[in-house]
Amino acid sequence: MLPVKSNLFHISEAASSGAFRLKLSQYLTGGFFPLALAALFSFSPFLGASAGDCFAFNRSLGRGINLGNALDAPKEGDWGVVLQADYFKLIKEAGFNHIRLPVRWSAHAEAAAPYTIDPAFFDRVDWAIKHARANGLRVVLNMHHYEALEDSPDGESERFVSLWRQIAQHYSGEPEDLAFEIYNEPARKMDADKWNILFARALSVVRSSNPLRLVVVGPVGWNSIDQLQSLSLPRDKNLLVTVHYYQPFHFTHQGASWAGPESQKWLGTLWNGSAKEMESISTEFDKASIWAQVQGRPIYLGEFGAYEKADMHSRAQWTMAVAEQASKRDFSWAYWEFCSGFGAYDPEKKEWSAQILRALQAGGRTD
């Protein structure tokens, strides 16, 4: 792990440290020259100043879980999940610090200007935030599955910005325990150039009503670690950078219908925690850590999980390894997800998956 003093990063201190020079040289000679070069020469204009706000918030997030397949479905319940009040209490009692709340805002807003969001849907999201807060859970509130935006970034950009204007204004009076994640996994026709411009526009709109709100942003390529170097960050000290991790994909998505017919061929793939498998996680997370420390930003691992068709023992081993490696590097994280296909909780049996929960608890932070 690279040197961090009280979780506040200063480029001069890190760059002069032997550990930083050694790690950077490993990347320069180990096939990651573009990443290392981009990290070394693409310093944020924010560097040199204390980033205490975003680092403190990242620490407070600690370990979390996604309430997925509920409010991010076309309609809540379409994908088999309807949020219940007792879910929040269960999550808190299991030792989690926050929830990530995926929301498909685009399905609940007018198609034409001014793109008004349905007040009843706002009420439902309010309800979830209220119950999270009542149970001492922080909330990362995002925009999820705006598929038309990814198919036509230019054509949908005004609606996207308008939705964020409404969301930001609606929650402008909320306490600081609520963070905004501007968009989940930009991909398809949303390339890095388009995403960097659109994110800056959305952030400007958010800042007009929420000047200090913690905002989460990730790179294109489905929040890929390999795309971090393409992410251009505005001058803003309250930004938290997110990445997602589902590697090896043929293990984590075996038998998943949305991954295509080839996913059926992956059934039976095991993950044993071998030295090579562990090294693969470490290498990826080291890349994210190098980038984050040079940029002076904390990392939020917003999603990771293995689908239910995988062997349970393998799922548990992989989950614990990912959570452990993330926590080791001071990444906050949120498991995907609570009670559906990747779920850590069985809503029918009304009990946690013991192996997955133990893996998350063992791999997570204890502070």
Catalytically annotated residues:
185, 303
| Contact status, residue 361 vs residue 65, Cβ threshold 8 Å | no
AA identity, residue 329: R
Other C-beta atoms closer than 10 Å to the C-beta of 111 total 8
Q: What's the alpha-carbon Rg for the chain, to the nearest Å?
A: 20
Residue 97 half-sphere exposure, CB side, CA atoms within 13 Å?
Answer: 16
| Contact status, residue 65 vs residue 338, Cβ threshold 8 Å | yes
Characterize the bridge pairing of strands 345-346 and 351-352: antiparallel
Which of 285, 232, 287, 297 lies closest to 58 in space, CA to CA?
297
For the chain, give the number of residues.
Answer: 367
Cis peptide before 175 (omega within 30 of 0): no
In angstroms, the CA 55 to CA 282 distance is 22
Q: Helix 312-328 and helix 354-363: axis angle, to 10°? A: 20
List, in sequence order, the alpha helices (H) in 186-274. Answer: 192-209, 220-223, 249-252
Q: Helix 33-41 and helix 18-29: axis angle, to 10°? A: 140
